[in-house]
Amino acid sequence: MKYVLDASVAVAAVRVREPFHANALRHCAPLFGGRDEIVVPAIFDLEVTSALVRRGVTAASVQRFLRRHLATRTLVPLGRRAVKDVRQVIALTRLRAADAMYVWVAARDELSLVTADQEVLQRAQMAGVTALPP
């Protein structure tokens, strides 16, 4: 299966104390096993790294996690044209910039977006995107 994955779901999958850890882990297991593919905005790596390092995980451990379990991810760069398109998503959905980037990638590639963010779950459809909880 191929989809867009919100960074918070990847983080929750590896952090037992996250409120939706079990669902995130269940959803990400095929991805971590190399059976699913994800397409994500380039900010994904920054968000995963920031979330885990802020909770005490070493940067080296985060890099190993990204290499080992998320090696098949496709990172979508944010160029000039993308910025314009993300601004349109923001105007339609009133989402925060980072959240709008995930919605933009999903709309661009006609993929579902997996997220635990309630605001994104409610508003992604305004940009023509199907958002699913983990």
Here the CATH number for the domain that contains residue 25 is 3.40.50.1010
The pTM for the full model equals: 0.94
List, for the chain, all residue ranges whose pLDDT scores fall below the cut of 50: none
Task: Return the number of other C-beta atoms located less than 10 Å from residue 3's C-beta.
Answer: 19
For residue 99, what pLDDT is reported?
98
Q: How many domains does the chain have?
A: 1
With pLDDT > 70 as the criterion, what percentage of the chain qualifies? Answer: 100
Q: Which domain holds residue 58?
A: 2-132
Residue 106: the pLDDT is: 98
pLDDT for 126 equals 98
